[in-house]
Amino acid sequence: MPLLEVDDVVVQFGGVTAVDHASFVAEAGRVTGLIGPNGAGKTTCFNVITGLQKPNRGRVRFDRRDITRLSVPRRSRRGMARTFQRLEAFGSLSVRENVRVARDIHRGIAGLVRPASADVDGLLERVGIAAYAGERADSIPTGTARLLELARCLACDPQLLLLDEPSSGLDEQETDAFGLLLAELAAEGRAIVMVEHDMDLVMSVCDEIHVLDFGRVIASDAPGAIRANPDVQRAYLGYSDVDEELAEQTREILL
């Protein structure tokens, strides 16, 4: 039984169908990749899973329960957390305070009575941004802010971790460290779903990959099989005019 099931979800914005009968699953203890060209509906899928976007049809099941009608915070309290493609760090708070807020929210009333402090620094250490602990979150580099959002999620100890382009803004070394961290988090039994454009990272850490194109899931398979899938190649290569660099990069990796 997979931890997360997205079942036949449709999202329409006016006349545009952003997600078109998409179905995919993510299992505990594994890293699941969600890839596809720009505008394929990846972030919208995340919004549907977390409740920020109401689907026109379809269901989302989490931990064997139908959560399609639950509000955003209630879903979160069931054990999911996400990061954002467009950063949503609490800009006027320090990095440490950002994680503290998450911890306080997670602990509910208990958090109000006895605020957390000690383990927050441990989390910053774990994602590798302890050096920034005292900085304001709107003054740190993008890559660091993405790691901060990850630390904030971890403060809620989620079963399901949704990461939206987590590695953009990280250099090569940081990306490697990040890959190791992901594997470690999955080994703890969490399900990780990651939207990512860095194909090296996707191919190396993901156990399964779903490819979205024009809102449809065109392939779901292990990295090796995805690499060889002709539909996937076509979807990526057909977009060279939209994102030259991305297509170039993909071509290199896929072919």
Partner 1 sequence: MSTIISFTILGLFTGAAYAIAASGLVLTYTTTRVFNIAHGAFGMVMAFTFWDFSQRQGMPTWLALVLVLGVVAPGTGWLVQRFITRGLGEGPVSVSLVVTVGLFVGLIGLAQYIWPPEPRTVPPFLPDKGVQIGDTYVTAHQIITIALSAVVAGLLYLLLNRTRIGTAMRASVDNPVLLRLFGGNPDRVASLSWAIGISLAALAGILLTPVIGLSYFDLTLLVINAYAAAMLGRLSSLPLTFVGAMGLGILQSFAVAYLPTEGFLSGLRAVVPALFLFVVIILMPQAQLRIGQVKGIVSAPLPSMTRSAVCGAALLGVVAVLATAMSDANLLLVGTAATYAMVMLSLVLLTGYGGHVSLAQFTFAGVGALAYAKLDEPNLYGLVMSALIAAAVGALVALPVLRLTGLYLALSTLAFGVLMDKLVFQADFAFGFNGTLHAERLSLLGTSISSISGYVIVMATFFVLMALGLLVLRRGVLGRLLIAMRDSPAACGTLGLDLRWFRVGLFGVSAGMAGLAGALFAGLRGTIGAADFQLFNSLPLLLLAVVFGVTSVSGAALGGIGLMLLPVLQSSRPELAGLVFAVLGFGAVALGRDPNGLANLLFGLGRRLDRRFGDVVRRAVPLLPLPADRADTSTHGEVPLMEDLQQPLKEVGVHAAARG
Binding site for partner 1 (CB under 8 A): 13, 16, 18, 36-44, 47, 50, 52-54, 71-74, 76-77, 81-82, 84-94, 97-98, 100-102, 104-106, 111-112, 115, 134-139, 141-142, 149, 152-153, 156, 212
Q: How far apart are CA 50 and CA 52, in angstroms?
A: 6
Q: Are 184 and 154 in contact (CB under 8 A)?
A: no
Burial class (CB in 10 A: 0-12, 13-18, 19+), 135: middle
Q: Between 47 and 229, whose beta carbon lies closer to partner 1?
A: 47
Residue 86 C-beta: closest distance to partner 1, Å: 4
Closer to partner 1 by Cβ: residue 187 or 244: 244
Q: Which CB sits closer to partner 1, 179 or 212?
A: 212
Q: State the nearest-atom distance from the C-beta of 84 to partner 1, in Å.
A: 6
Nearest distance in Å: CB 115, partner 1:
5
- As measured in angstroms, the least distance from the Cβ of 224 to partner 1 is 25
State how far the Cα of 77 lies from the Cα of 64, in Å rounded to an integer.
15
Nearer to partner 1, 1 or 112 (CB): 112
Question: Does residue 26 contact residue 160 with C-beta atoms inside 8 Å?
Answer: yes
Angle between helices 142-154 and 95-107 (to 10 degrees): 20
115 or 224: CB nearest partner 1: 115
In whole angstroms, give the CA distance from residue 212 to residue 32: 13
Residue 20 token pair? 């078109």
The distance of closest approach from Cβ of residue 222 to partner 1 in the complex, given in angstroms and rounded to an integer, is 24
